[in-house]
């Protein structure tokens, strides 16, 4: 039988896990089959991860860059929308900025009906 008992409501010891992970191209690190998002600018970088008290804290260069509640279960994905701010296509399709000069030079979508060209060329291809 276990002789250790909580002191004043506290467990007899604290469990802390410290890991190093590389940020994947999907802006996440994998821990115990679960994925936790980090700011997209860290893709490809190594980060330090601390798991303690059902919290996942992710550090880069000694600075806290992400914090998540530890996922219950397996193969879960926890994301913070702020980690994707500024990424093209996150909130809709990727749109190219319109250059006013290029827009003015672009020809109309259809200059003439194809039938007119066929008549001028002497028939169909």
Domain extents in the chain: 16-82
Phi and psi, residue 103, nearest 5°: -65, -35
Q: Label residue 41 by pLDDT band (50, 70, 90).
A: very high
C-alpha dihedral (75, 81, 84, 88), degrees to nearest 10: 110
The pLDDT value recorded for residue 86 is 79
pLDDT digits (tens, 9 = 90+) for 91-107: 666 566 666 665 565 55
> Cβ distance 59 to 65 under 8 Å?
yes
More confident residue, 114 or 21: 21
Look up residue 90 and give its two tokens: 């996150």
This prediction has a pTM of 0.63
Most distant pair of Cα atoms in the chain: their distance: 101
């Amino acid at each position: 039988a276990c002789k250790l008992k909580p002191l004043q409501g506290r467990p007899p010891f604290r469990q802390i896990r410290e890991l190093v992970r590389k940020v994947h191209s999907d802006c996440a690190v994998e821990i115990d089959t679960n994925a936790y998002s980090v700011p997209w600018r860290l893709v490809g970088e190594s980060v330090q991860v601390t798991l303690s008290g059902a919290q996942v804290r992710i550090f880069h260069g000694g600075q806290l860059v992400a914090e998540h509640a530890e996922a219950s279960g397996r193969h879960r994905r926890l994301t913070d929308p702020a980690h994707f701010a500024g990424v093209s296509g996150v909130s809709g399709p990727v749109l190219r900025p319109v250059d006013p000069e290029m827009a003015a030079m672009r020809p109309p979508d259809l200059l003439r009906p194809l039938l007119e060209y066929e008549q001028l060329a002497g028939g169909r291809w």
